[in-house]
């Protein structure tokens, strides 16, 4: 197991925060500026979510994002985030096939991308993947409830655990993930009382997204909370800014200024010493006078080059 860099929030601190009733703050990020903003805001965990497929890469769901793309994005985040724990989200296909493949891909996040941990979705078959990856020395965050990689099987992006049986199963799945070695479990789109019960039963922290106020921490997608996402948003999203409006206004103003000549102004323009400018203007007005005689002669007998 590798030693965490100096200043990095220690993983066991998360369980301590749970015991002390101190809320854990997690946000997604997909590039270095996002990671720096999260770091400066004192965020505890930065997840390089496979939501990158939708909010960065323009797909309709999370399934298409590849391992190489996730490694690339995670590396940019890990480079910039010093204190927050950086988690690489294992994309669809990177852990479904076998324990061995899961470990190999988790190692890529850990070794190539510089992630501190990985996250994967589901319980059931995912439990042996968690055991295998933790066994290789890589911390794993679990994720139950609405697991977007299997949204088709779940009947769409729908709240999970709404019947007594489904709620009981959800509690069992979360307990099994803890037992398998997860250091925390994400609960997505789960009724608040069910999430509260999971949180009470687990020793490791729960991180909620659409799972009510009783989880040990909360996570939101960067683009959703900043108002960079457009179109329909799930009801669990709270917007803290309207950046897409600001970006659109700024780009429209820029285009207008370029077309009207209002940009660039003097303050955006470089000058040069007046004597250099005069010399430059002299030579550029009659270029052949400043050239050495031989060259001038040669060029006068050869075709002009652009």
Give me the helix-helix angle, 164-180 and 126-135, nearest 10°.
Answer: 20
Shortest Cβ 23–ligand KIV spacing (Å) = 16
Note if 22 is an active site residue.
no
How would you classify the pairing of strands 184-188 and 206-209?
Answer: parallel
By beta-carbon proximity to ligand KIV, the closer residue of 93 and 291 is 93
Shortest Cβ 38–ligand KIV spacing (Å) = 13
By beta-carbon proximity to ligand KIV, the closer residue of 59 and 263 is 59
Specify the long-range contacts of residues 191-200, CB closer than 8 Å, at least 24 apart: 191/159, 191/161, 191/162, 191/167, 194/161, 194/167, 194/170, 195/145, 197/167, 197/171, 198/170, 198/171, 198/174
**What is the residue-wise DSSP string for 57-82?**
T--SSSTT--HHHHHHHHHHHHHH-S
Catalytic residue among 188, 252, 265, 281: 188
Shortest Cβ 54–ligand KIV spacing (Å) = 9
Collapsing DSSP to helix, strand or coil, 179 comes out as helix
Shortest Cβ 48–ligand KIV spacing (Å) = 8
* Binding positions for ligand KIV, rule: CB under 6 A: 28, 47, 49-51, 89, 143, 186, 188, 209, 219, 221
By beta-carbon proximity to ligand KIV, the closer residue of 63 and 291 is 63
Residue nearest to ligand KIV (CB): 49
Residues 6+ apart with CB under 8 A from 4: 10, 11, 116
By beta-carbon proximity to ligand KIV, the closer residue of 64 and 291 is 64
By beta-carbon proximity to ligand KIV, the closer residue of 221 and 226 is 221
Shortest Cβ 27–ligand KIV spacing (Å) = 9
User: What b/e string do you get for 95-117 counting C-beta neighbours within 10 Å, with b at 16 or more?
Assistant: bbeebeebbebbebbbeebbbbb
Q: Which two tokens stand for residue 224?
A: 């959703």
Tell me the catalytic residues: 188
């Amino acid at each position: 197991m590798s030693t965490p860099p100096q200043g990095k929030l220690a993983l066991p601190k998360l369980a301590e925060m749970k015991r002390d009733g101190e809320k854990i703050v997690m946000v997604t990020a997909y590039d270095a500026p996002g990671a720096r903003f999260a770091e400066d805001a004192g965020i505890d965990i930065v997840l390089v979510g496979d939501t990158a497929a939708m909010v960065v890469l323009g797909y309709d769901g999370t399934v298409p994002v590849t391992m190489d793309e996730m490694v690339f994005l995670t590396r940019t985040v890990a480079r910039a985030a010093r204190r927050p724990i950086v988690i690489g989200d294992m994309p669809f296909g990177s852990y479904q096939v076998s324990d061995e493949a899961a470990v190999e891909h988790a190692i890529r996040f850990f070794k190539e991308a510089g992630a501190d941990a990985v996250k994967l979705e589901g319980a059931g078959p995912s439990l042996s993947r968690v055991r295998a990856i933790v066994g290789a020395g890589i911390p794993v965050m679990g994720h139950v409830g609405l697991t977007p990689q299997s949204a088709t099987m779940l009947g769409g992006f729908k709240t999970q655990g709404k019947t007594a049986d489904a709620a009981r199963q959800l509690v069992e799945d979360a307990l099994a993930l803890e037992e398998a070695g997860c250091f925390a479990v994400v609960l997505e789109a789960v009724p608040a009382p069910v999430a509260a019960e999971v949180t009470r039963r687990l020793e490791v922290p729960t991180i909620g997204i659409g799972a009510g106020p009783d989880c040990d921490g909360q996570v939101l997608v960067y683009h959703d909370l900043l108002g960079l996402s457009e179109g329909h948003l799930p009801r669990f999203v709270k917007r803290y800014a309207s950046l897409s409006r600001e970006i659109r206004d700024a780009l429209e103003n820029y285009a207008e200024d370029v077309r009207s000549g209002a940009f660039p102004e003097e303050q955006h323009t470089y000058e040069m010493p007046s004597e250099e400018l005069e010399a430059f203007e002299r030579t550029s007005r009659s270029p052949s006078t400043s050239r050495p005689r031989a060259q001038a002669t040669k060029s006068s007998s050869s075709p002009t080059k652009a």
